[in-house]
Structures are given as C-alpha cells and as structure tokens.
Structure 1
Amino acid sequence: MKSKAIRIDRNGGPEELKLVEVDVGEPGPGEIRVRHHAVGLNFIDTYQRSGLYKLPMPLQLGMEAAGVVEAVGEGVSHLKQGDRVAYASQPPGAYCELRVMPARCVCRLPDAIDFETGAAMMLKGLTAQYLLKKTLPAEGLEPGDHILFHAAAGGVGLIACQWAKALGLQLIGTAGSDAKCQLALDHGAAHCINYSTGNFVEKVKEITGGKGVKVVYDSVGKDTWQGSLDCLRPLGLLAVFGNGSGPVPPIDLGLLAGKGSLYMTRPTLFTHLATRESTQAMANDLFEVVGSGAVKIPIDQRYKLEDVQQAHRDLEARKTTGCTILTL
C-alpha cells in the first residue's frame, strides 16, 4: 500500500522537505492504520526540521492529524475500523495520506467536530489544556486573576485566549502587530500588548497596578524569558513551553530568589500524554469546551500537502495566525 508523505533526509531549511512515496503495511500490536483527511502544522515541526530537536534521519514530520481508522492491530480495544479519529502523538509522521502508528494517543473524534477542526486542534488545544489546567502557580489560579500569554495570536494562543475567558481569567496577550493584538482581543484576551511598539513589562505592571501576574506562559523563549520573569509577582511561575526565538540559556537560580522566590518550568505536552488514561481525559476536556462553543478553533491558513515548504516559510516568518492545516 502506497502513500504520499513529506520527508527530510537531513536537517535544514524548508527546502529539505521532500514529497515522496512510502510503503504502508499492516498495524502491529498496539497500532492502527489511519487514512488522514487533514494534517495539523505546528511550530515544533520546524524545530524538528531545523535540528533544534534532534531526531533520527530520514524523518517524516508531523505531530497531529485527523482521519479514519482503516485497520486495528492486536491489543487495541478503544478503537475499531471505521472510527473517526484525531491525535497529537509521537513519533512524528503525520505529514502523509496514510500511516501506521501507535494507538495510545489516538482518540475518537466526536461527530460534531469535523476533520479539519480535529486536525487543527489536538496538539495546540491539548497544550492549552495542560497549561491552563495543570501548569499552575503555587497559589493556584482563581477567576479574575491576571495571566500573561505570549504569542497570543498564534494557534495555541487563540485557543488559550478563549479558554482563559471561559475560566474567568484575565489573559494579557502579547503579539507583534496591532492586527494580531486585535485578533487576540476578539478571541477573549482581556488586554493585548504590541511588543514591537511598547515594553510589555511596563504595560503588564500598568495593567495589574504594579502587582504583576501569577503566571506567564511563554512559547517565545530566548527573546522574552527575562522580561517574563519581571512580569511575575512574588511566588509567580514562568512556564516556558516553546522556543520560537531560540532556547532559553542556562540561568543563575539566584535570579529567581532575587525576584521574589519565583518558579520556572519547562513543560512538554507529551509528558502529560504519557498514558492512555491521561490522554483521553485531556482530550475529553478539549472536546467538551470545543463542542460547547466556548472555544472555537480558528483555521486561518490551508496549504496542500505538496506546498508544505511554503507553509513552513510562512510559519517561521510569523505570517500566520491561529491554526494552519495541510489538506490532502
């Protein structure tokens, strides 16, 4: 059985992404074969392509998709042939028409959620879930609390803006243009700061009456982490969950002491998806909030699978907003 797929043979720029034809066999124990209807694009894909995250070569990229189960391997009990499914899963390999993959992180997709939405929302929506529900400051979060969320007009950010509002939180977003700030505000951010024209630390202090926020969710990394620490109130938490501008350098722990006994963590989604039970519980939470209409999944860009090089260029150039999918 043949499938179109996107593969790289070495790390590098978007030009390394090649359209190839691969053989797809039968699922083994604990595996399924799934035919994709849509594939999600994420910033982590660019980290894997560039070599920031090292993986064996050749590498088929892609961490999330939605489609239909074609075959089920031995020992898989939560899925059957014909099920509509969506996933965010390791190992990579979603940039394709058809694949065999571990069944553990694959979840049945509710009938009310279409394939494009399913493909766009799993990795980003589950990331927003573990951040807002599980990556919490020592004093917890209560309705009315201010939080700071960088890249608020991105895929994770626009989901987080809506979810935070549903939880009663006052989300302060940052973005790189007035248009992106307006997008975050339209999706539920209480405030949004254009970091290209203003100092986000000063603006956060102004918004919070000098107190600062309990938690900063930072996917930008190198360019923002120091300012993020300065936005925190004592005992606050900085959660760096991405490296959009590069990784955070080694830090002196005394810095955290001097700024008010701060906490700092580098969480990953796949730690939270380590078991079948945790994956399903998180997905159920996401399906519920999307199904209720409290969170809408903004798909702002669509590219054909064979146009994936341009999709990566646009993503890295910060030309995208919301979610991006590859169509088949």
Structure 2
Amino acid sequence: MRAFVKKSAEDDAVELAEVPVPRIDDVELLVRVHAFGVGIHDTSFVPVDAAYPYPIGMEASGVIEEIGKDVSGLQPGDRIAFISSMQSKGGTWAEYVAVESSSLIVPIPSAMGFGEAAAVPVAGNTALRAIEALGVPRRAVRCSSQAARERWVPSPSR
C-alpha cells in the first residue's frame, strides 16, 4: 500500500512510499482510509518502538474492512472517523490502518463526507476547545456543513 512515512527517527522529512498493509490483532480493526487530518503534530507522535519507514498521522476516516475476533459493536462496511495515535503498526496517512478497538472511533453520519469526518477527532475537537476557552457562546458557533451541525456541534441549549 502507499503511505506517507518518516524514514527514520532522526529526520522529520516525509515521503510517499510502498509499505505492507498492516495485519490486525484480535482487538484491532483494519480500515481503508478515505481521508486523513493533517496537523503540525503528525511527524512528532511516533512510538519509541516504531519500525521505519513509519506511516505518520493521527486522525482519519474510512470504511472498516476487517475486524479482529474480540472486536464488538463494529463491523466491516461501517463508515467511521477515528484517532489512531502512537500505534506501532503506523499512523493514518496510509491507504490502510490498523486501529485498536479502544481508540476513539465514531460513526460517520450519512450526510457527512469522509473529508469533513477526518477533521473532527483532533482538529475539530481542538477548535471547539479553543472556542470554549475564549468564552465564545455556543449559539455563536457556525459550521459550514449541515451534517457537522447536526452531529458534531452541541445545540445552543446545552
């Protein structure tokens, strides 16, 4: 599969490379990535025991292709957004990613696209926390996506 990788721990340069599709364990799922979030942090969150070249990235969206035997509540074909950080098998800037079932995994509403969904787990949460820290009233928050407004943004009454 193709993935954006760091070639070594000493260098933050990223390049497109061919790497094996990760094999999943009993508590993981294999996700075909449709979109991934991009942030300044993506080359920094690499586990100490990473094998190089290491696919980078923390947040993405896609479709579950396979689940481990101990995974429940999810099934192949589910559209999900997720965080997969510091995983020894690699990050989200790849065609496929192994995601631990204990990770933050949320279903994507049918009206939301993969690009929007990939931005929600880290970047979207960061934006909402910044808005709250600045004291902006929730009723003043505007979203560019109807699906995002319906699923992700708390209603003004909260």
TM-score, length-normalised on structure 2? Answer: 0.74
Instruction: Please list, as runs of the form range in 1=range in 2, the aligned pairs for 1:208-227 lying within 5 A after superposition.
Output: none
Rounded Cα–Cα distance in structure 1 between residues aligned with 2:100 and 2:36: 17
Q: Does 1:113 align with 2:85?
A: no
Q: CA deviation at 1:127?
A: 2.7
What letter matches 1:62 in structure 2? G
Give 2:32's match in structure 1, choosing from 30, 35, 40: 35
Gaps of 5+ in 2: 154-158
Q: CA deviation at 1:100?
A: 1.6
Bigger relative CO (Cα 8 Å, ≥ 6 apart): 2
Q: Find the residue that maps to 2:148 and give its secondary structure.
A: helix
Q: In the alignment, which residue of structure 1 is the partner of 2:80?
A: 85
What letter matches 1:19 in structure 2? L
What letter matches 2:37 in structure 1? G
* RMSD across aligned positions (CA): 3.0
Q: In the alignment, which residue of structure 1 is the partner of 2:59?
A: 64
The answer to whether the 8 Å contact 2:37/2:123 transfers is no
Rounded Cα–Cα distance in structure 1 between residues aligned with 2:7 and 2:75: 34
Q: In the alignment, which residue of structure 2 is the partner of 1:292?
A: 150
Identity of aligned residues (%): 28
Q: CA deviation at 1:102?
A: 0.8
TM-score, length-normalised on structure 1? Answer: 0.38
What letter matches 1:17 in structure 2? V
Rounded Cα–Cα distance in structure 2 between residues aligned with 1:42 and 1:95: 11
Q: Find the residue that maps to 1:121 and give its secondary structure.
A: helix
Larger Rg: 1
Report the structure, 1 or 2, having the larger helix content: 1
The answer to whether the 8 Å contact 2:2/2:19 transfers is yes
Q: 1:61 to 1:25 in 2, by over 3 A?
A: closer
Q: 1:33 to 1:117 in 2, by over 3 A?
A: same
Gaps of 5+ in 1: 137-146, 149-163, 170-186, 189-287, 296-328
- The number of residues matched between the two structures is 143
Rounded Cα–Cα distance in structure 1 between residues aligned with 2:152 and 2:31: 29
